[in-house]
């Protein structure tokens, strides 16, 4: 009897050993397969420009961005637009503002102007002026701060529609922020890596100079083909002061104690990426539903108010499922570590060189010199237009008018009265006129910035 029991025990032990060896073999085979998959995934890469940074991702990664923010100005891009659709959206927005009143019970819409971005034109709308914020001091209302105003900019390049929006911008202190950003903006293709200094966002870059006070911020998201549970996030921003470091926050996180059995650390400590100092924390989690996932994080604190040394956070998460239902990681620990190493090691500051930026006004002229346009018509070409009729103040020297602006009336000097002769003044009146294009010269920067050329 004892021999029979002993034999059964030996058999059970042998079967258990066989199962363990088989499981180990299966796990090793899965690890090897996953690692080959990651290696193949990273053989073809695409480089993405995010803020002042570059990062390499698998070529078939699905990349998206949050709206970029610079100070109180947000910038968004929407694909799938035609020029007709863009014009309709702008017209609808303008009509909506025309029917509203501001805090002073006056028409909300104050000004419309057209400016040149780097490779397209932007339409700006100024509206919704707010009274200075009133606070209560010693029981009495006290006016503080400046008036606020909303400034929006719209532009289209190819099928991409760009929107800039700054709400309650201090007026006049920050009223021109949207204008300046729109003028420094260049539309880019999704895979473009610009060489000139500036701040990258989705399908675009704002060329330097950019004030550190605007605290430029943008976030990139990426998903990997065939691995819906994996998410990558890269966030970069300019901060006013240093934040608590990643490892300090981790050391003070009581969740590490409360859920110690569910967390396995796969690595942590200081790690420099291509000259950027930072800290790394690599954890594997066991969820309540029995699934396993990973959260790998690398952070760099940056320097306050320094656009060239921003705060950076890079994350790679696995095991993402439907909300409230975590999924199993589609990659083994070793493969996730391999993927993390490949992606994180590529993070770097974008090298730049000074290059001449070509604006919309610098492109080939649309119409020849000598073109004529009457008062009230949309100007077909940026340049100097001449009213050569005698007696007109605009005269032969030419008047700068921007493409897209409305051709203005001219100013006629009339016959002075005796008193006007004695005082040196002559009567002036506006008259509809036919203008002739005499030069393609661009406007000086100060004229372009304040919008004196008018707008459609």
The 10s digit of each residue's pLDDT in 216-274 is 999 999 999 999 999 999 999 999 888 899 999 999 998 888 888 899 999 999 999 99
Report the SS3 class of residue 360.
helix
Predicted confidence at residue 205, as pLDDT, reads 96
What tokens were used for 341?
């190493």
- Asked whether residue 378 falls in the same domain as residue 401, the answer is yes
How far apart (Å, rounded) are the C-alpha atoms in residues 212 and 306? Answer: 6
* 318 within a domain of the structure (yes/no): yes
* 455 within a domain of the structure (yes/no): no
Q: For residue 70, which of 277, 244, 236 has the smallest C-alpha distance? A: 236
How far apart (Å, rounded) are the C-alpha atoms in residues 169 and 188? Answer: 27
Q: 28 vs 17, 42, 333, 335, CA distance in Å?
A: 16, 21, 11, 11
Q: Tell me which of 331, 355, 379 is where a domain ends.
A: 355
> What's the CA dihedral at 16, 22, 23, 25 to 10 degrees?
150
Dmax (CA) of the chain: 141
Residues of the chain with pLDDT under 50: 23, 355-364, 395-396, 417-427, 442-456
Q: Tell me which of 154, 183, 212 is where a domain ends.
A: 183
Report the SS3 class of residue 26.
helix
Radius of gyration for the chain, computed over Cα atoms and rounded to the nearest angstrom: 31
Going 8 to 14 to 17 to 23, the CA torsion angle's sign is negative
- Asked whether residue 269 falls in the same domain as residue 148, the answer is no
Domain count of the chain? 4
Predicted confidence at residue 141, as pLDDT, reads 62
- Asked whether residue 127 falls in the same domain as residue 196, the answer is no
Check if the beta carbon of residue 331 is closer than 8 Å to that of residue 230.
yes
Residue whose structure tokens are 């009223």: 175
Q: How far is Cα of residue 309 from the mean position of the Cα atoms in its chain?
A: 18
Q: How far is Cα of residue 411 from the mean position of the Cα atoms in its chain?
A: 44
435 lies in which domain range?
Answer: 364-450
Check if the beta carbon of residue 166 is closer than 8 Å to that of residue 73.
yes
- Asked whether residue 421 falls in the same domain as residue 370, the answer is yes
- Asked whether residue 86 falls in the same domain as residue 226, the answer is no
Peptide bond into 111 cis (omega under 30): no
Predicted confidence at residue 12, as pLDDT, reads 63
> DSSP code of 2?
H
- Asked whether residue 208 falls in the same domain as residue 325, the answer is yes
- Asked whether residue 194 falls in the same domain as residue 148, the answer is no
Q: 275 vs 44, 149, 212, 295, 338, CA distance in Å?
A: 25, 42, 22, 24, 21
* 456 within a domain of the structure (yes/no): no
Please give the order of strands across the beta sheet that includes 53-58: 45-50, 53-58, 348-349
What tokens were used for 5?
């029991």
**Cβ-Cβ contacts under 8 Å for 271 (sequence gap 6 or more):** 278, 279, 280, 298
Residue 349, Cβ density class (10 Å: 0-12 exposed, 13-18 middle, ≥19 buried): middle
- Asked whether residue 27 falls in the same domain as residue 158, the answer is no
* 340 within a domain of the structure (yes/no): yes
Residue 403, Cβ density class (10 Å: 0-12 exposed, 13-18 middle, ≥19 buried): buried
- Asked whether residue 62 falls in the same domain as residue 81, the answer is no
- Asked whether residue 256 falls in the same domain as residue 196, the answer is yes
- Asked whether residue 63 falls in the same domain as residue 79, the answer is no
* 431 within a domain of the structure (yes/no): yes
Predicted confidence at residue 357, as pLDDT, reads 43
Q: Tell me which of 183, 207, 240 is where a domain ends.
A: 183
- Asked whether residue 369 falls in the same domain as residue 243, the answer is no
Whole-model pTM over 0.75: no
How far apart (Å, rounded) are the C-alpha atoms in residues 154 and 233? Answer: 28
């Amino acid at each position: 009897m004892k021999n029979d029991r002993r034999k059964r025990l030996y058999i059970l032990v042998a079967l258990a050993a066989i199962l363990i060896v088989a499981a180990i073999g299966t796990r090793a085979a899965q690890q090897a397969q996953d690692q080959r998959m990651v290696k193949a995934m990273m053989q073809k890469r695409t480089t993405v420009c995010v803020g002042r940074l570059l990062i390499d991702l698998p070529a078939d990664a699905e990349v998206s961005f949050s709206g970029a923010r610079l100070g109180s100005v947000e910038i968004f891009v929407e694909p799938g637009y035609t020029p007709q659709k863009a014009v309709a959206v702008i017209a609808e927005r303008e009509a909506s503002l025309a029917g509203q009143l501001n805090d002073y019970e006056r028409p909300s819409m104050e000004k419309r102007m057209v400016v040149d971005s780097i490779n397209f034109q932007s339409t700006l709308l100024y509206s919704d002026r707010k009274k200075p914020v009133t606070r209560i001091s010693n029981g009495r209302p006290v006016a503080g701060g400046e008036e606020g105003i909303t400034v929006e900019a719209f532009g289209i390049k190819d099928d991409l529609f760009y929107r800039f929006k700054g709400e309650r911008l201090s007026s006049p202190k920050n009223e021109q922020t949207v204008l300046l950003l729109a003028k420094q903006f260049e539309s880019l293709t999704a895979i473009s890596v610009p060489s000139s200094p500036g701040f990258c966002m989705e399908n675009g870059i704002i060329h330097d100079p950019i004030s550190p006070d605007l605290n430029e911020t943008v976030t990139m998201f990426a998903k990997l083909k065939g691995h819906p549970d994996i998410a990558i996030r890269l966030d970069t921003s300019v901060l006013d002061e240093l934040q608590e470091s990643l490892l300090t926050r981790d050391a003070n996180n009581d969740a590490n104690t409360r859920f110690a059995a569910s967390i396995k650390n796969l690595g942590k400590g200081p790690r420099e990426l291509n000259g950027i100092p930072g800290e790394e924390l690599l954890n594997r989690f066991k969820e309540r539903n029995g699934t396993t996932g990973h959260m790998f994080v690398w952070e760099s604190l940056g320097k306050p108010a320094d656009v060239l040394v921003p705060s950076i956070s890079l994350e790679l998460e696995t095991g993402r499922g439907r909300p409230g239902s975590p999924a199993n990681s589609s990659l083994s620990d070793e493969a996730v570590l391999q993927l993390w190493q490949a992606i994180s090691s590529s993070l770097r500051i974008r090298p730049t060189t000074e290059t001449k930026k070509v604006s919309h006004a610098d492109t080939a002229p649309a119409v020849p010199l000598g073109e004529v346009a009457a008062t009230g018509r949309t100007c077909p070409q940026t340049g100097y237009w001449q009213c050569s009729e005698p007696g007109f103040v605009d005269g032969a020297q030419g008047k700068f008018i921007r493409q897209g602006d409305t051709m203005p009336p001219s100013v006629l000097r009339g016959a002075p009265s005796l008193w006007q002769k004695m005082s040196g003044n002559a009567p002036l009146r506006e008259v509809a006129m036919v203008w002739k294009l005499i030069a393609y010269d661009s406007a000086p920067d100060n004229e372009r910035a304040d919008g004196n050329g008018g707008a459609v």
